[in-house]
């Protein structure tokens, strides 16, 4: 039986943070938060309802309309963002301990999250200082320029996989742009979000600029999406929830940016560097417990190397170490929640009826409790299989052979999703031409998911709406007002003269 490491000095309960103060729900409602190793509740969190969202949005609106934040010079906001980044880095070990306890991620993978979160703030601090907007001149007649203004109150709804880092990915550009925010963390993993209030206060963020409302998606999240004073919603999560948000945001015509589900292909051609491709495709689906939107969970392998690839891949998968998330030797920890564990286990049982199970397929020996799943490999998977078509979001991979470039492309695009893709080949022409034909928002050639923050992040088809990253994030959180100045008398038809 697994013994869970419990971090010292856990809070007694998780509360909302509104207008600079920690507060309970107005009706006193709470929900249980469990850890994924013992599946026991370790504390209660305030369960936000529409009334709590109203309070948070009102605070954010006051801070936007009456406070200094939107009117600060970019350099002033940048200095505060830099302080946030510096403070975040000092919380690295504490953050990793809380994140691993709350999510089940291996501690070695949680330890990198603070650095990545800090880099998000530094990046957008640099960007708002360097930002230049368009100016157009019509010689002797007119000058036109763009006046960029923050949009207002932003609702940020974040997922339970790597929650703190993904919160920073939304918070940094929203705050850099001059917006005020209401953050709704994932109900499965609200613990690390409780670090933000102290960090922001120490960095000098004014009260009301940053607010947290915890709670269930269908209550707190839904109220945030429907609120008429929330100008825009940035959401990361599953596609079905994204459809609901899309519909519920329509009456208020608010801006939406949504990064949704994925079923990303990794296409391995016979001329690929096989050692590198195996390293990357094993890491790409089993890191972060397989709970990653960009996981290469469908591996398409050219027939000439298929048998060798499968043999080596299965051997590696069977050697992946599953265990206590706090053990530095662990490579796959516990899935986030028993509900999600049941979903992943259910897909494994479905897969047994659709394809050949080559590795894994159940709970590891010696781990009779907790949300543990052995890294699971299905081979000879037909494209009609549910495990080929549907997002599992766990340490489960489907491997399928192909005989030609056209067949590989057809298989790669034969799903409703289009978030990421990976192409492995030593043929440079094929790498570009094939990669550009894949229906995916992001393609990596001979690499796993290594990101440049300047590039667009987002998907196509059922994988998302809009893009963030670099200037695209600032565009999302800003209104761009066109200003037109005449330089000479303007000829106007004299109606009614």
Active centre residues (catalytic): 259
Cα–Cα distances (Å) from 8 to 5, 14, 99, 106, 252, in that order, read: 9, 15, 13, 18, 44
Question: CA 295 to CA 419: how far, in whole Å?
Answer: 10
Question: CA 284 to CA 268: how far, in whole Å?
Answer: 13
Q: Taking Cα atoms as reference points, which of 100, 83, 242 lies closest to residue 164?
A: 100
447: DSSP letter: S
Write 20-26 long-range contacts (CB < 8 A, 24+). Answer: 20/201, 20/207, 20/208, 21/207, 22/197, 23/55, 25/49, 25/51, 25/52, 25/215, 26/51, 26/52, 26/55
Q: Taking Cα atoms as reference points, which of 405, 404, 410 lies closest to residue 383?
A: 410
Q: Taking Cα atoms as reference points, which of 219, 227, 199 lies closest to residue 82?
A: 199
- Cα dihedral value 269, 282, 415, 393, nearest 10: 180
Q: Is there a contact between 116 and 99 (Cβ–Cβ < 8 Å)?
A: no
Q: Taking Cα atoms as reference points, which of 121, 180, 182, 177 lies closest to residue 150?
A: 177
Instruction: Check the CA dihedral 468-149-178-45 and report its sign.
Output: negative
What 3-state DSSP class applies to 186? coil
| Cα angle 477, 59, 25; round to 5 | 115
Cα–Cα distances (Å) from 158 to 165, 166, 215, in that order, read: 10, 7, 12
SS3 content of the chain, % helix, strand, coil (to 5): 40, 20, 40
Q: Is there a contact between 468 and 173 (Cβ–Cβ < 8 Å)?
A: yes
In terms of Cβ atoms closer than 10 Å to its own Cβ (0-12, 13-18, 19+), residue 457 is buried
Q: Is there a contact between 16 and 46 (Cβ–Cβ < 8 Å)?
A: yes
In terms of Cβ atoms closer than 10 Å to its own Cβ (0-12, 13-18, 19+), residue 210 is buried
Q: Taking Cα atoms as reference points, which of 19, 36, 10 lies closest to residue 325?
A: 36
């Amino acid at each position: 039986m697994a013994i869970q490491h419990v971090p010292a000095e856990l809070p007694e309960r998780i509360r909302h943070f509104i207008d600079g103060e920690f507060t309970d729900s107005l009706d006193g409602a709470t929900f249980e938060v469990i850890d994924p190793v013992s599946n026991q509740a370790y504390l209660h969190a305030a369960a936000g309802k529409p009334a709590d969202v109203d309070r948070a949005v009102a605070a954010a609106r006051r801070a936007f309309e009456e406070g200094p934040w939107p009117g600060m010079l970019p350099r002033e906001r940048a200095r505060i963002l830099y302080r946030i980044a510096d403070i975040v880095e000092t919380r690295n070990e504490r953050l990793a301990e809380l994140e691993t306890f709350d999510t089940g991620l291996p501690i070695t993978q949680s330890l990198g999250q603070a650095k990545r979160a800090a880099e998000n703030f530094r990046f957008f601090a640099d960007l708002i200082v360097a930002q230049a907007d368009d100016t157009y001149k019509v010689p002797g007649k007119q000058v036109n320029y763009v006046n960029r203004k923050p949009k207002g109150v932003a609702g940020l709804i974040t997922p339970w996989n790597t929650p703190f880092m993904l919160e920073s990915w939304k918070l940094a550009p929203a705050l850099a742009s001059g917006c005020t925010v209401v953050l709704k963390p994932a109900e499965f993993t609200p613990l690390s979000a409780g670090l933000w209030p102290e960090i922001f206060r120490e960095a000098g963020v004014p009260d009301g600029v940053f607010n947290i409302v915890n709670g269930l998606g269908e209550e707190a999240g839904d109220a945030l999406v429907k609120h008429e004073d929330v100008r825009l919603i940035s959401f990361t999560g599953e596609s079905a929830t994204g459809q609901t948000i899309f519909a519920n945001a329509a009456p208020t015509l608010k801006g939406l940016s949504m990064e949704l589900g994925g079923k990303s292909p990794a296409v391995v051609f016979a001329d690929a560097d096989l050692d590198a491709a195996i390293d990357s495709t094993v890491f790409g689906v089993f890191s972060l417990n397989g709970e990653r939107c960009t996981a290469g969970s469908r591996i398409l392998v050219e027939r000439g190397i298929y048998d060798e690839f499968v043999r080596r891949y299965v051997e590696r998968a069977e050697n992946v170490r599953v265990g206590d998330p706090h053990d530095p030797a662990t490579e796959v920890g516990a899935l986030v929640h028993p509900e999600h564990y049941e979903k992943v286990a259910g897909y494994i049982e479905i897969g047994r009826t659709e394809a050949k199970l080559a590795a894994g397929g159940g709970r590891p020996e010696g781990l009779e409790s907790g949300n543990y799943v052995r890294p699971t490999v299905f081979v000879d998977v037909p494209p009609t299989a549910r495990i080929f078509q549907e997002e599992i979001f766990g340490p489960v991979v489907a491997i399928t052979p192909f005989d030609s470039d056209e067949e590989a492309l057809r298989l790669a695009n034969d799903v409703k999703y289009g978030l990421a893709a990976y192409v492995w080949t030593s043929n440079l022409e094929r790498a570009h031409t094939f990669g550009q034909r894949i229906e995916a928002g992001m393609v990596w050639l001979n690499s796993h998911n290594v990101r440049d923050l300047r590039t667009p992040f987002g998907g196509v088809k059922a994988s998302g709406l809009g893009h963030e990253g670099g200037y695209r994030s600032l565009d999302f959180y800003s209104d761009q007002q066109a200003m037109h100045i005449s330089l000479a008398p303007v000829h106007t038809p004299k109606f009614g003269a």
